[in-house]
Structure formats: C-alpha cells, structure tokens
Structure 1
Amino acid sequence: MSKIKTAAKDKVPLGQKAAFGAGHLVLNLLPGALGIFMFFLLTAFGMDPVLAGLLGGLPRIFDAITDPIMGFISDNTKSKWGRRRPYIFVGAILSGVLFALLWQLDADNSQNYNFWYFLIFSMIFLVGNTMFATPLVGLGYEMTSDYNERTRLMAFSQTIGQIAWMIVPWFWVLIADEDLFATQAIGVRQLSIMVGAVCLILGVLPAIFCRGMDAANMENRKEITLKSLGANLKDLFKGIVEVSKSRPFMKLCGATFLVFNGFQLVASFSFFIIVYYMFNGDFAAAGNWPAWFSTITAVVTAFAVIPIISKIADKYGKRNAFLISTAISIIGYILKWWGFDPGNPWLMFMPIPFMAFGLGGLFTLMMSMTADVCDLDELENGMPRKEGTFGAIYWWMVKMGQALALVLQGFVLKLVGFISDAPTQTAETMTNLRIADIVIPVLTAGIAMLVMWKYSLSEERAREIKAELVARRGEL
C-alpha cells in the first residue's frame, strides 16, 4: 500500500465527486436509453431494418469526427469559468432537450419523413452530447493531481454511473406495458422526455460544482476563432500525433478496446441464451429474467466491485489492480457455462460477482491511469495540457470498437446458426452460442492482460513526474 498520504489540497470534496458522478450517470443513461429506444424504431414506428441500421451507423461516423475537435477546443479555451465547465453546462442542456426531440416521431408519418427527421436530429444531438461528454471526461482528469485520489474519484463516479444500467433494462418493460402506454410509440415519446429532463438536470451539476486545475496562466494555448481555423486544424492533428506516440496511453487504449469490446460483442448473447436455451424460446416464461440479470450486474458492479477495485489499486497499484480484476472476470465468464441452467434460473446470478470485475475495474482504472498519462504528456510535450484530446481519442476508440463489435456480433450469430425469426433454436446452435459467449470475452481479456503486463507508469514514476511538473511550473 502506498505510504504517501494524499495532501488535503489534492482531495476532491465529496460534493464535487457527487456532481462529477451525476455527469457520468448522464454519460451512461443517454447511450443506454438510445440503444433500447432504437429497437422501437422497428416495432413502434415501422422503420425498415436497413434504414434503421443506417440510422444506427451513420451518426457514429459523424460522432467520431466531432470528439477530437471538441477535445482540442476544450483544451485551448480561455474563460473565467475554466476550460471545460461552459461547454458542460451548455452541452447538458442541449443533450437533454435534443434527446427528447429526437424521439418525437409518429408512426403515421411516412417512413422517409421519419428517417430524415431522425437522422438530422441525431447529428444535432451528437454535437450537443459531444459538447457535454468530451469536456466532462477532460475535467475529471484534472480535478486532482494525486495518484490515488484520481482512482477514488473515478471509482466514485463509476459507482454513480452504474445506476443508469440498473434503470435502462427496464425501459423494455415500461414501453411495452399496455397498462402504462396505449402504444409503444407513445411510450417512447413520453419516456424520452423524462430521460431528457433527468439528463439535463443532472448534467449541469458538474459545470456548477466541479473545479478543474487553474488554467489562468497556462501557456501556448491556441486562439479559437474562425480566422485561425486552418492553423487550429494543423495543431489538432499535431496534438493527435503526440497523443498517439504515448506508449502508456496506447496500452490503455489497446487493453480497453479488447476488454470492453470483447464484452460488447457477446452482450446480447445472454438475452438469447436465457430466452432460447433456458426457456426454449418462450418470451412470456422468460419474463423479466433478462432485465434482472442486467440490473443485478450493475448493482454488484456499483456497490461491491468498484469499491474493492479502488482498495486493490491503493494497495497494489493500478496496473496490478487491472490484472487482478481482469483475471477474476475471466473466472466469471467461464462460470456462465454452469450458471445458465434451464433447471434453476437463479444460478444465472452466480457468475455476476466475478464477471463484474471486468468492466467495473476497466473504466475506473483506465480513466485514472489516463490522468497520469496527461502528466507525462505535459512533461514531454509542454503546455497546453491535453486532457480533452486524450479523453476524446480514448472514447473515440471505445465508440469505434463498439461499432465494430456490433457488426461482428451479427457474423458470430450467423456462424453459430442462429435464426432470428425462428420460434426456437437447435441444440447445436445454442451450444455453439454458449461457447462463443464464453470464449470471446475470455480470449480478449487474456490478450488485454498481456498488453498491460509491462505497463511502465507506476505510482513511483507518476509521483516523480508530478514533482518535476510542480518544480517546472514554480508551484509551492
């Protein structure tokens, strides 16, 4: 365990941690709700599956372009409210309002109208969401300069963020409940307004209460104007190149890509296994078991796994905490073979405490380690600090990997013989699907451990870097 006690000035007050956590709840709730609601484009609004697929994919390409741009703008902004907070405030309002407007579709409208309405509002929504999300991530990296307090901050925010995943699975149930909503379309429209309002209120809290580093005297920031657009683009690409040359950061990105997208690739398989293997295709009998599986996973992750991960990181270091948590998750994935038992549905919850260490440890530790990498970048490349750029590239990689996982998911289902419109699946198909459900995340998690095995930015080195930066800046 680290013998160096966190200085009082480096501790993030509980109120700021809670506000930052509220922002992370929004970061999870918006994409989670979006993913659920996309299903109802088909069933509630009669969208052609090909067009629905385009609506899911095209905005992601646009999103991948805006993230690094917003990161650069945030890094170089000069304002009396700081580099991040003005964007977070405006972005939270835009995200909440535009999410609600995005889903004010009507099944009576023509398919072309609904397609273009949704596509245009998706683009506008993603601009607002990027304005909120990218500076929020950057703000988290600079709220404290202490090695261990960074982990505690990320652990706290990730715990609150998991509340979104306790709620989101039940949107399926609510929207389809005829006692609540006369039609699914009405359910989507009304629930989207509620989600948008909650996200708006929670999203502005980090802008109001959180404090980043004092950037008043930060040198070498670029002027953000239309006249300097050409020069800014050149500096943007230069910053991306510098970030991409950071070997520790590339290891973090690689490990995250493997663990997260290995999980994402098989994320829907649990639903199929519960319905088609455990309940032989009877959706009524399967009932709320899939929703409970997701909710219990989020509860265990938030209130058991993340606090444990934070303690392990304090005692053994962040790299070792990642290796330990990922190894435990591999045990959980393997236990799924015995957990999904048609004779005893309660056994499906057995692997969860082990599996939850995968994603529970991943983002808690990786975001904390990225903050350490930002210090290293300042030491090697000077000012301005590039928390926004690091955050944008990290999450751009996550989003692109997620899109790839969704594409590969279809190929895997095809390979194992899954027939989407069949009332039941063959025993061979379900066996192959269960094997893929285990082998894929185990394989990607194992490779991620190899990637991180020689990660070099230890606590001792991180503290040396911090001391050098303090001396260079002339701080007390």
Structure 2
Amino acid sequence: MNQNQLVPLKARISWGMGGWADNFIFQMLMILALPIYNIELGIDPVWVGMALMLPRLFDAITDPLMGNISDNTRSRWGRRRPWIFVGALLSAILLPLLWMPPFSGKEASIIYFAIVSTVYALTYTMFVVPYTALGFELSNDYDERTKAMSWRMYIGLLAGLCIPNLYAWCQHDIFEGDILKGARWVSLIVAVTVLITGLLPAILCRENIIPKKQEKLKLGKALIETIKDGPFRLLLSGYVIIITGLLTSAALALYVNIYHVFAGDKKLAAEVSALGGMLAVVGAYLGVRLAAIISAKTGKKETMIIGLSLALISVGSMIFTMQAGFQVHEFWGFKFHPQAISFFFYGMGQQGCWLLIDSMTADICDEDELRSDRRREGMFGAVKSLALKSGVAITGLTGGLVIKFAGVSDATQGVDVAVAATLHKLFIIIQASGLVAGIIIFIFYPITRAKSAETRRLLDARNSANPLT
C-alpha cells in the first residue's frame, strides 16, 4: 500500500465523530416511537408504524436527489461538507420536537408525529448521504478503507452505549413518572451532542479525492446506472433483507421483555434491556476489530458470512435466555439477566457486517469508475442509505402489524400471557429468517480481494495516463 493511501489519524477521528450524530439521529426516532406513542399515549401500533413509514416513502425521492446533488456540487468547501453542516444543524433542532405534540387527541398527535418525522427525515438525509460519501473517499486501498471506516463504528458505538438507556432515562425519578416529559428533556440533551459531533466532519475534514472535470449526470440516469450495477444490487438485496428481519424483531424486543419476561414491569424491563444493549455495544467493539483483522487475512465476503453466522447463533440462544424465571442480579446499579450474554455475541457478529457493507460499497465505486469513468460516491451512498431507510420503512409497518397480529392493540391495557409468548416466538423466527437469507445472498457476492486489486491497478494506470486537470 502506498503511503498516500493511508488515512491520517486526525482525519479518521474527525470523520468518525459523525458516527455519534448518525447513530443518535437515526436510532432515537426508532427506539422511542412505539414506547412513547403506543405504550404511553395508547395509539394503535399500526398507526405508529404508518407514521414511521411515511418519512421513508419521502426518502425514496430525497435520498437519490441528495446523492446526485452532492456528486454535482462544486463549492470552495467541497462537494460534501456544506451539506453535512446544514443537515446536522437542522436535525439537532428537530430532534426534541418529535416528542412535543401540542394536541391531546390520539389522531392529532399521530398526524403531528408523522409530519415532524418526515421533515426530520429530510434533514437526516442532508447529513448522512454526503457524510457517507465523504467516508468512501477517505482511501482507495482495499484494507485501509475498512480500517478508516471502522472509526465511524468506534465512535458511533459510544453513542450505542447510551441508546439502550434512552427509554430508561425517560423514566428517571426526576421526571416524576411523566415519561413524555422525560423524552423531551433527554432528546434535548442528545440534540446538543448531535450538533457538536455532526458539525465536526464538516469543519475538520478535507475531501481528499478531487473530482475530475466530469459532465454532471442527471438524476434519472445517475440512479439507473447505480441500480444496474450487479454487485451493488446483490449487496443491497442482502442488506435490506437482513435489516428487515432484524428491525422488525427489534420492534418486538421491548414488548417481549415487558410482557413475556417481566410480567408487565416496564421499569425493570427497560433497565435489563439497557444493560443487554450496552453489552451488545461492547461486543460490537470487539466485532469491528475482529472484522478488520479477519478481513485483512481473508476477504470482506468471507468475514461478512462469519459475522452473520455468529449473529444467527446468538439469536437462536435467545430461545432460552429471554425467558421468565431467571433471577435478575444487580451489579454497580445495572440489572443483569442471562439474555445479556446473547446480546453480547449478537453485537459482536452483526456490527462487523455493517462496517463491511460500507467498505464493500467503496470497492463497488471503484468498479463503477472503471466502467463509467465517473466518481459517484454520493449516489451509491444515497441508494445504500435509501435501502437502509426502506428496510426501516418496511419494519416500521411490519413491526406494528406483527405486534397487532400477535394480539396487542392498546398496550396500556396490558398483554395476555399467551400473546406475550407468541411475541417471543416471532421475535426469534423473524430475525433468524433474515440472517439465513443474508448468508445465502453473500455467498454469491463477486468482488474478491484479487478482483478489487486488479480494478485498482487499472484505475491507477488510466489516471496516470490521463491526470486531473
């Protein structure tokens, strides 16, 4: 690897800080939507799911548009950084407003939530699409890309240590039982951290890849060319299927703990879920490091399959660990339940996979440049972001439908024991199905270490013969 392909530590950290903002902007909406609007306000879970799906439909337009705008932007600050700045600022402003419906009626409250979350989705797109594209440009080396992008995971996972505690923090004694009030104050504090960390990549990073004087590509043609890419379609298929399975099940997790494991005790369930989520983050840290090591010795496809297999085994173990009857132990103020062990290994398996998705997308950008003679990280990042959000849109609805299918409507009235057991079974089956399908798809992923190296050699030779002007 040439020295100029190494990413300086300052650049890694500066770009990685955006992972904190990214995690909170995306996760806070998903983590608190059902607990606040269904469990606390008594709104039908299907309606909450519909409200979560609406912004994702909007994303089908705004994500590719933002990717194309970013690719075609020419400014003294670069293609990506101005949009990162504006997106982070607006997202931080809107975050607390998600939990401030000025109405008492259920219908008016859910309409308000749908509108605000749709605008919030737009500001998130303005941040995350250029931010991801900036990461693709950090290096053109097969392994250095994985190492550099791991900083987004390392710093983002610090946020991940906090995210499982969000619902528990909303129930802190300082809020005197008013969970909606708790959500507002907690999200306000989070918004300040989002503002700081989201602005850092825009202020401190520099765009290392200078775009060629290439013709600006219209949105429709750019989108078609991106979707026509065979390896990218395969990558997206596996990504969306895995996301759909995992996030549909994630919508059930808190319900399983509250009503199946802890017999309706919301506070204990939130505290146990918080520790389980935090241990999953600890496992994820190890998973990111192990993924980088294994990938350097084998390849990204092989590492992806190993990580998904470990996640699948961990999900299977939840058949036994997410059960009532285990004694809850307290250590240093945290509530430990055996399910935390399953979540630890689950985090270790799946987090390395998310790292590799980004690194593999950067390799696909090289393949695209070899074919089209254009750098289009923005559009590839946008379509990847749209795939993630599409998975979230599907799960926002399917999560609510599965909850209602199992027999839950108004959770403020409690959940029957048999219904809770059904939720537990569906929680396991849906996740496992998505992981198995993902493993099968990635077996056929075509870009190997050798193919990527050959593509890079051809690009370097062509660029040397035709230097940038």
The verdict on a shared fold, with TM-score over 0.5 as the criterion, is yes
Identical counterparts, % of pairs: 31
- Residue 339 of structure 1 corresponds to which residue in structure 2? 321
Change beyond 3 A, Cα 1:273–1:49: closer
The one-letter amino acid of 1:426's match is V
Q: 2:19 aligns with which of 9, 15, 24?
A: 24
Select between 83-92 and 285-294 the one with higher mean Cα deviation: 285-294
Note if contact 1:103-1:188 (Cα within 8 Å) is conserved in structure 2. yes
Note if contact 1:30-1:199 (Cα within 8 Å) is conserved in structure 2. yes
- Residue 454 of structure 1 corresponds to which residue in structure 2? 444
Q: 1:377 aligns with which of 361, 368, 371?
A: 368
- Residue 126 of structure 1 corresponds to which residue in structure 2? 121
Q: 1:65 aligns with which of 61, 64, 75?
A: 61
- Give, in whole Å, the separation in 2 of the partners of 1:55 and 1:264: 16
Note if contact 2:54-2:393 (Cα within 8 Å) is conserved in structure 1. no
Change beyond 3 A, Cα 1:28–1:45: same
Q: 1:413 aligns with which of 399, 403, 406?
A: 403
- Give, in whole Å, the separation in 2 of the partners of 1:46 and 1:415: 17
- Counting only pairs closer than 5 Å after superposition, residues 6-155 of structure 1 correspond to structure 2 as 6-38=1-33, 39-41=35-37, 52-106=48-102, 118-155=113-150
- Give, in whole Å, the separation in 2 of the partners of 1:292 and 1:120: 33
The one-letter amino acid of 1:455's match is Y
**Pairing 1:164–2:154 present:** no
- Residue 276 of structure 1 corresponds to which residue in structure 2? 259
Change beyond 3 A, Cα 1:44–1:447: closer
How far off its partner does 1:398 sit?
Answer: 1.4
Note if contact 1:83-1:215 (Cα within 8 Å) is conserved in structure 2. no
- Residue 226 of structure 1 corresponds to which residue in structure 2? none
The one-letter amino acid of 2:28's match is A
Change beyond 3 A, Cα 1:441–1:126: closer
- Give, in whole Å, the separation in 2 of the partners of 1:208 and 1:402: 30
Select between 95-104 and 257-266 the one with higher mean Cα deviation: 95-104
Q: Deviations over 1:290-311 (max 9, x none)?
A: 222222212221x211111111
Q: Deviations over 1:181-223 (max 9, x none)?
A: 684443333333222221111111111222333325x12242x
How far off its partner does 1:284 sit?
Answer: 4.9
How far off its partner does 1:258 sit?
Answer: 1.7
- Residue 277 of structure 2 corresponds to which residue in structure 1? 294
**Pairing 1:219–2:213 present:** yes
Select between 97-106 and 270-279 the one with higher mean Cα deviation: 97-106
Q: Deviations over 1:217-241 (max 9, x none)?
A: x12242xxxxxxxxx6xx2111111
Select between 167-176 and 254-263 the one with higher mean Cα deviation: 167-176
- Residue 227 of structure 2 corresponds to which residue in structure 1? 244
- Residue 312 of structure 1 corresponds to which residue in structure 2? 294
- Residue 332 of structure 2 corresponds to which residue in structure 1? none
Note if contact 2:314-2:342 (Cα within 8 Å) is conserved in structure 1. yes
How far off its partner does 1:124 sit?
Answer: 3.5
- Give, in whole Å, the separation in 1 of the partners of 2:160 and 2:429: 24
- Residue 259 of structure 1 corresponds to which residue in structure 2? 242
- Residue 352 of structure 2 corresponds to which residue in structure 1? 361
The one-letter amino acid of 2:63's match is D
**Pairing 1:327–2:304 present:** no
* Paired positions, count: 455
The one-letter amino acid of 2:80's match is R
- Give, in whole Å, the separation in 1 of the partners of 2:173 and 2:209: 53
- Give, in whole Å, the separation in 2 of the partners of 1:126 and 1:251: 26
How far off its partner does 1:136 sit?
Answer: 0.3
- Residue 334 of structure 2 corresponds to which residue in structure 1? none
How far off its partner does 1:415 sit?
Answer: 4.4
How far off its partner does 1:247 sit?
Answer: 1.1
The one-letter amino acid of 1:58's match is L
Gaps of 5+ in 1: 1-5, 223-231
The one-letter amino acid of 1:372's match is D
Change beyond 3 A, Cα 1:83–1:41: same
The one-letter amino acid of 2:88's match is A
- Give, in whole Å, the separation in 2 of the partners of 1:142 and 1:412: 40
Q: Deviations over 1:360-397 (max 9, x none)?
A: 122100100000000000101112x1111111111111
Note if contact 1:45-1:105 (Cα within 8 Å) is conserved in structure 2. no
How far off its partner does 1:334 sit?
Answer: 1.1
- Give, in whole Å, the separation in 1 of the partners of 2:257 and 2:64: 39
Note if contact 1:305-1:353 (Cα within 8 Å) is conserved in structure 2. no
- Residue 3 of structure 1 corresponds to which residue in structure 2? none
Select between 112-121 and 151-160 the one with higher mean Cα deviation: 112-121
- Residue 201 of structure 2 corresponds to which residue in structure 1? 206
The one-letter amino acid of 1:219's match is K
The one-letter amino acid of 1:90's match is V
Select between 334-343 and 75-84 the one with higher mean Cα deviation: 334-343
State the TM-score, normalized to the length of structure 2.
Answer: 0.88
- Residue 456 of structure 2 corresponds to which residue in structure 1? 466
Note if contact 2:406-2:422 (Cα within 8 Å) is conserved in structure 1. yes
Note if contact 2:315-2:346 (Cα within 8 Å) is conserved in structure 1. yes
Select between 127-136 and 172-181 the one with higher mean Cα deviation: 172-181
SS of alignment partner, residue 196 of structure 1: helix
Select between 113-122 and 310-319 the one with higher mean Cα deviation: 113-122
Superposed structure 1 runs of 4+ greater than 6 Å apart: 43-51, 110-113
Note if contact 1:152-1:310 (Cα within 8 Å) is conserved in structure 2. yes
Gaps of 5+ in 2: 329-336
- Residue 403 of structure 1 corresponds to which residue in structure 2? 393
Select between 344-353 and 135-144 the one with higher mean Cα deviation: 344-353
Change beyond 3 A, Cα 1:10–1:333: same
The one-letter amino acid of 1:133's match is V
Note if contact 2:287-2:349 (Cα within 8 Å) is conserved in structure 1. no
Note if contact 2:280-2:345 (Cα within 8 Å) is conserved in structure 1. no
- Give, in whole Å, the separation in 2 of the partners of 1:264 and 1:423: 23
The one-letter amino acid of 2:399's match is Q
Note if contact 1:95-1:125 (Cα within 8 Å) is conserved in structure 2. yes
Note if contact 2:283-2:348 (Cα within 8 Å) is conserved in structure 1. no
- Residue 379 of structure 2 corresponds to which residue in structure 1? 389
Note if contact 1:22-1:161 (Cα within 8 Å) is conserved in structure 2. yes
The one-letter amino acid of 1:401's match is G
Change beyond 3 A, Cα 1:251–1:19: same
How far off its partner does 1:134 sit?
Answer: 0.5
How far off its partner does 1:102 sit?
Answer: 4.9
Select between 83-92 and 372-381 the one with higher mean Cα deviation: 83-92
SS of alignment partner, residue 20 of structure 1: helix
**Pairing 1:442–2:432 present:** yes
The one-letter amino acid of 2:414's match is P
Note if contact 1:44-1:107 (Cα within 8 Å) is conserved in structure 2. no
